[in-house]
Chains A and B, each alone.
Chain A
Amino acid sequence: MPHNATSSTPGGLNVAVLVSIGRHPLTARTRRADQDARAVEMALTLDGASVSLIHAGQQEREHEEALRGYLGMGIDTVNLIQQCPQADVVPALADALRQGAPQLVLSGARAETNEASGVLPYLLAEALGWPIITNLAAVEKVEQGMATVLQALPRGKRRRLRIRLPAIATVDSSAPAARQSAFGPARRGALEHLDAASDIDEALAAWQVQPARKRPKRLKIVKSSSARDRFKAAAAKADGGGGQTLTDVTPEQGAEAIFKLLKEEGVLR
């Protein structure tokens, strides 16, 4: 179901998408990052939007392969801002966005490599003074410098927000899946190199990075002085504990009790 938003901005909507290098969770090969690709997909489905892709990173063969994954979605160029490997890319990206002056910036919620803390869009928003929203599910319409969007909430719900442009929005797995990357356009597309000064991220040097350890499972702690109680608690089947059972009631009384619970929990709308 494509969410085609129509924009009434003269000259079309200018959308920038921040893309990163992803890594396949099983094979560890570089690829287009899943959430970033969804952001590109969303930008492409916006009617009359001119889409530009920005990546800050190194020019490397492996990275180029991954970036061509985005080109294969039907994009002509990716702007590659050259940065050294330990660079903090926020200043460079902020500069690029300030110059490009897009109305809407889309990105994934978090990267698939390195720190992947998901803070970058927030830092950009703070640096540029633009509003930011998360979990973008669809852009409904853009008019008069305001965008009406749907935000994905947990449990499949949606919230409608109106946000002043220019703005940054992050996209995660609730957005429509990205289209396939086609080989031909991926070969034909161009990477446009831009030079920018690199700010070295000094904190990184003090960190110790290792392959993720399995997290210990939390044990059920039973606080009781008597061994018998502890044993019973450890061996017992899960029971609700304090559950209320209504016997010998008319269906109406039972329904009333259920209705009360449903209302208390706020699931009736």
Chain B
Amino acid sequence: MSDLIRRDPRKEWIARNRLHPQHQDVLAEQGGGTKAFEWMGPNGVMRKNPHAVGFIGPNGVRRIDRSGAQQAAQTPGRSAETKDTRQRITIDQPAFMVAVVPDMAGGRLSSHDRDLLGLARQLADADPSQPGAVLAVVFGEHKETAFGEAGADRLLHLEGERFSGYLPELKVATLQGIEREVAPRFWLLPDSTLGGGELGRRLAARLGERPAAQVWQVENASASPTGWRCTARGAAGRDDIIRALPRVVLALAECADPVSETRHAAEPISLSQGLPDVLGRIEDLGEVAVDPASVSLAEAEFILSAGNGVKEWEGYHHAAEVLGATKGASRVAVDDGYMPRDRQVGATGTWVSARVYVAVGISGAIQHLQGIQSCEKVVAVNLDEGCDMVKRADLAVIGDASAVLAALVKRVEQYRAEQQENRNAA
């Protein structure tokens, strides 16, 4: 059925006129059921007939169930399809540019990056007669598809072999090239330890701009030379410094709301000049293997956590070693003496921030779930399909913990062996 709404003025009129002899029939027709109390109006707005709502209770009183159970039972004929109502915006001739260099931790825009793009949108859209465009500069490979949704009008993706690894000097030289070519009005970078915080300071030093670091608020201020004023944390978080917004801004997370109401073009652009050749004074020799057991729980990236459902502890410890995961535990596992106290995850233990959290035999009590709030991907292995951990999980496997762990160990060992073979062959 086409989703074009066809109007029948006569039927609409009958539907409005409760005294019309055909009133009930028309309502039923429009509602798609026998007793319609809700139907889609001509403008896409839900219309309700309050007289048809509810049921007659045992004492002959009309009762209305507002929990939604009754409404859900009767689906109206034309359902309100959830359409993407976000406005599509393209800016062809921007008056100026606002450049954002997101961190892209794990190859995706982090929430910090999105906040920065939101801030960039504020700066770009302040004057509707002279709209600016937001340029996102991305180094290296990434997995992100939603730059437009996050608020970028232009996307400069610098890819290739040259941009993998730790290359702060090459990146700064590239940003300098962008500065020469695009001359953005503002440079916004996330003030994170590695990544934006470092790159932004390098860029500011190179451009000779005095940056504002640890910015958490940006407001309109006509008195300031840039038209904006920012509030930045200073003195190790003890002071607030209020000053004119400089050209290079290193902002904290939640400095602005992320873009949610509009979609942007994220049109790919490229630099007309080639990339600079930088003499490498800093050479990246690669990451060093660290013992996952020595990593503190709070900063571990990959945690294999065990709860009351784990019965074979030998197998669990072996699995953690094979996977290279940091070990965690629920309170019950700790109280029962299977795991040391410093491994407890949750409200009374450690608040973890792992990228992948595998919960084996953990039911997901609220005290435990609190501790894993900021984990990105949660995997649950549990026998009980209805438990809260399974609801929280991005991937839940219903099965016996020991069996699944043993199978996982086997699979990973097989993968390791394949890798070894490839390496030997190469």
Contacts and interface: CB of A to CB of B under 8 A. Distances in A.
A122 B201 CA distance: 7
Interface string A121-150: 011011000011111000000000000101
Interface stretch (B29-37, B150-158, B282-290): B282-290
A159 B406 contact: no
A27 interface: no
B294 interface: yes
Contacts of B391: 237, 239-240, 243
Nearest to A267: B302
Contacts of B411: 252, 255-256, 259
A159 B288 contact: yes
B362 interface: no
A125 B205 CA distance: 9
A161 B285 contact: yes
A122 B204 contact: yes
B243 A23 contact: no
B14 interface: no
B288 A160 contact: yes
A257 B296 CA distance: 27
Contacts of A113: 235-236
B378 interface: yes
A245 B214 CA distance: 41
Nearest to B243: A207
A111 B236 CA distance: 7
A211 B239 contact: yes
B335 interface: no
Given A215-B254, A255-B408, A116 B234 contact: yes
The B interface is mostly helix, strand or loop, or mixed, namely mixed
Given A156-B300, A269-B289, A212 B407 contact: no
A118 interface: yes
A150 B287 CA distance: 9
A210 interface: yes
Interface string B48-81: 0000000000000000000010000000000000
A235 interface: no
Nearest to A153: B194
A246 B285 CA distance: 41
A65 to B, nearest CB: 19
B373 interface: yes
Interface residues of A, number: 82
A112 interface: yes
A112 B395 contact: no
A135 B236 contact: no
A158 B290 contact: yes
Contacts of B403: 251
B170 interface: no
B410 interface: yes
A156 B394 CA distance: 25
Nearest to B295: A156
Contact of B206 (A126, A167, A209, A212): A126
B243 A135 contact: no
Contact of A212 (B193, B237, B260): B237
Contacts of B7: none
Interface string B293-326: 0111001111000000000000000000001110
A117 B212 contact: yes
A132 B169 CA distance: 9
Interface in A217-252: 218, 221, 223, 228, 237-240, 242-252
B50 to A, nearest CB: 16
Given A131-B282, A133-B282, A163-B283, A266 B106 contact: yes
A250 to B, nearest CB: 8
A23 B283 contact: no
Contact of B205 (A111, A119, A134, A212): A119
B323 A119 contact: no
A160 B234 contact: no
A164 interface: yes
Contacts of A213: 231, 240
A243 B240 contact: no
A197 interface: no
B385 interface: yes
Interface string B197-225: 11001101110001111101000000000
Contacts of B205: 119, 122-123, 125-126
A157 B287 contact: yes
A220 B20 CA distance: 47
A261 B356 contact: yes
A259 B407 CA distance: 10
A238 B369 contact: yes
A206 B281 contact: no
Contacts of B257: 218, 221
Nearest to A117: B213
Contacts of A61: none
Contacts of A159: 166, 284-288
Contact of A251 (B239, B325, B407): B407
B238 interface: yes
Interface in B360-396: 369, 373, 376-379, 381, 385, 388, 390-396
Q: Which 6 A-B pairs have the closest CB atoms?
A: A254-B397, A255-B407, A156-B295, A117-B213, A251-B403, A267-B302
Given A213-B231, A258-B397, 11 more contacts: A25-B236, A116-B234, A154-B299, A156-B294, A221-B260, A244-B394, A251-B407, A255-B407, A255-B408, A265-B106, A269-B289
21 contacts: A117-B201, A118-B197, A119-B204, A119-B210, A131-B169, A133-B282, A154-B299, A158-B287, A160-B285, A161-B284, A161-B285, A162-B283, A212-B238, A238-B373, A243-B394, A244-B396, A249-B397, A263-B415, A265-B377, A266-B106, A267-B356
